[in-house]
C-alpha cells in the first residue's frame, strides 16, 4: 500500500499575542491560510521500522525530523507492528514562517492513520497533533481558520479562495523560539481580530480595503534585528501590495490584485537576490 500526499505551506493573515502562559508559551489569535506551495510526501507500508528519506540533505531525516516524530508517536501509542518507508520532498523553505514542518507532520498523521488502519477519533488526533507542534492541528484541515490558545484550537472560517500572493524569502531562517522570547508585555495598541474575521465571514476579504486589516504582532520583534526582512516589506509596500511577515519570519508576503500588478512586482523583485514564489490561497 502506498499513499502520496501534498503538504501545503501557510501564511498568517492576522497574528496578535494575547498573553503569556505559566508554561512559557504564548496565547495568540491568528488567522492562517493554506497556500499553493507544497512539500510532497510518499508513504509505503513496510515490515516493522520507520524509515525516512528527505530530499533536502541539510534537514535531518532521523528522529529529530518532525515527520519521524509523528510516525513514532502513532506507532508507540497504538502498538503498531508494521513499519513505513517515507520519502519527503521539500519545497517549502525551512524556518521560514510558512509552517513547512508542521504541515509535513499533519500529512504524516493523516497518511499513517490510513496505512496502519488506525481507528482514531478526530479529537484524539488533534491532541496528538498539538503535542507535535502548535501549528500542526491547523494543517489537519487547512484552508482558512482562526487558531487560538497556543495556535492549536482551530475554528474553520469561510474559505478565502484564489487570492494572489507573492512570497519573498531572504534566504535565511528566523528561529521561532527566539522571537517569542523577545516579546515584552504590556503590548501597546492591542489589535482586535474582529474586523478581519467579519470580512472573511462575509466573503468580503477580496477587497483592497480589507487587506488593511492584516496584522502581525511579531514583526516588531523581528524587523529591527533583520534589516533584510524589513527591506522586503518596504519594497512590497512601495509596489502597492498589502504586505506582511508570515508567522515568525523570515518570509514576507504581498497580496496582489491583478496580472499587471504582478508583472510589475516580479520585474522589481528580479533586482534582488531574494527567493520568490507566486502562489494563491487554497482550501
Ligand X SMILES: C[C@@](CO)(OP(=O)(O)O)[C@H](O)COP(=O)(O)OP(=O)(O)OC[C@H]1O[C@@H](n2ccc(N)nc2=O)[C@H](O)[C@@H]1O
Ligand Y SMILES: Nc1ncnc2c1ncn2[C@@H]1O[C@H](COP(=O)(O)OP(=O)(O)O)[C@@H](O)[C@H]1O
CA–CA separation, 36 and 34 (whole Å): 7
Can you tell me the distance from the alpha carbon of 233 to that of 254, in angstroms, rounded to the nearest whole number?
8
In DSSP terms, 15 is beta-bridged to: 30, 216
Instruction: Map residues 162-191 to x or -, x wherever contact with ligand X holds by CB under 6 A.
Output: --------------xx--x-----------
Cell of 42: 510518499
Torsion of CA 262, 268, 271, 272, to 10 degrees: -70
Fill in the per-residue mask, 17 to 56: x = in contact with ligand X (CB under 6 A), - = not in contact: -------xxx-x-x--------------------------
Q: Is residue 164 part of an annotated ligand binding site?
A: no
Q: In the annotation, is 184 catalytic? A: no
Which DSSP string corresponds to 4-28?
Answer: EEEEEEEEEEEEEEEEE-TTS-EEE
Of the candidate spans 62-70, 161-169, 208-216, 232-240, the one that interacts with ligand Y by CB under 6 A turns out to be 62-70
255, 163 Cβ separation under 8 angstroms: yes
Q: Given the residues 39, 104, 135, 152, select the one marked as catalytic.
A: 135
CB of 262 to ligand X, least distance (A): 25
Ligand-binding annotation for 171, yes or no, is no
Q: Was 251 annotated as part of a binding site?
A: no
Residue 7 C-alpha cell reads as 503538504
Please say whether the beta carbons of 32 and 147 come within 8 A. Answer: yes
Which of 10, 69, 90, 233 is the catalytic position? 10
Binding ligand X by CB under 6 A: which of 83, 93, 99, 137?
A: 99
Binding mask 225-264 for ligand Y (x = CB under 6 A): ----------------------xx----------------
Residue 173 marked as a ligand binder = no
Which partner from the list ligand X, ligand Y, none does 170 bind, CB cut-off 5 to 8 Å by kind?
A: none
Give the burial class of 49: count Cβ atoms within 10 A of its Cβ; 0-12 exposed, 13-18 middle, 19 or more buried.
Answer: exposed
Q: How near is the Cβ of 180 to ligand Y at its closest, in Å?
A: 11
Q: Is 57 helix (H, G, I), strand (E, B) or coil?
A: coil
Q: What is the chain's length?
A: 283
Applying CB under 6 A, the residues found at the interface with ligand X are 12, 15, 24-26, 28, 30, 97, 99, 102, 133-135, 150-151, 176-177, 180, 247-248
Binding residues for ATP: 93-103
Catalytic residues: 10, 135
Amino acid at each position: 500500500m502506498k499513499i502520496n500526499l501534498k503538504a501545503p505551506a501557510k501564511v498568517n493573515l492576522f497574528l496578535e499575542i494575547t498573553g503569556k502562559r505559566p508554561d512559557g508559551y504564548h496565547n495568540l489569535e491568528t488567522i492562517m491560510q493554506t497556500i499553493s506551495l507544497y512539500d510532497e510526501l510518499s508513504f509505503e507500508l513496510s515490515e516493522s521500522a520507520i524509515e525516512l528519506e528527505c530530499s533536502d540533505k541539510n534537514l535531518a531525516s532521523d528522529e529529530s525530523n518532525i515527520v519521524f516524530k509523528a510516525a513514532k508517536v502513532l506507532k508507540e501509542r497504538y502498538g503498531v507492528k508494521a513499519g513505513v518507508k517515507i520519502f519527503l520532498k521539500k519545497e517549502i523553505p525551512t524556518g521560514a514562517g510558512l509552517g513547512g514542518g508542521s504541515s509535513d507532520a499533519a500529512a504524516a498523521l493523516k497518511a499513517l492513520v490510513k496505512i496502519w488502519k488506525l481507528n482514531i477519533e478526530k479529537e484524539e488526533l488533534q491532541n496528538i497533533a498539538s503535542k507535535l507542534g502548535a501549528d500542526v492541528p491547523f494543517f489537519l484541515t487547512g484552508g482558512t481558520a482562526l487558531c487560538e490558545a497556543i495556535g492549536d484550537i482551530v475554528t474553520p472560517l469561510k474559505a478565502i479562495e484564489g487570492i494572489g500572493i507573492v512570497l519573498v524569502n531572504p534566504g535565511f531562517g528566523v528561529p521561532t523560539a527566539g522571537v517569542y522570547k523577545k516579546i515584552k508585555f504590556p503590548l501597546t495598541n492591542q489589535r482586535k481580530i474582529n474586523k478581519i474575521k467579519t470580512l472573511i465571514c462575509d466573503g468580503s476579504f477580496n477587497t483592497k480595503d480589507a487587506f488593511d486589516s492584516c496584522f502581525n504582532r511579531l514583526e516588531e520583534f523581528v524587523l529591527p534585528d533583520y534589516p533584510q526582512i524589513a527591506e522586503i516589506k518596504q519594497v512590497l509596500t512601495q509596489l502597492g501590495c498589502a504586505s506582511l511577515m508570515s508567522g515568525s519570519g523570515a518570509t514576507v508576503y504581498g497580496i496582489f490584485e491583478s496580472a499587471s500588478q504582478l508583472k510589475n512586482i516580479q520585474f522589481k523583485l528580479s533586482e534582488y537576490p531574494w527567493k520568490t514564489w507566486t502562489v494563491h490561497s487554497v482550501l
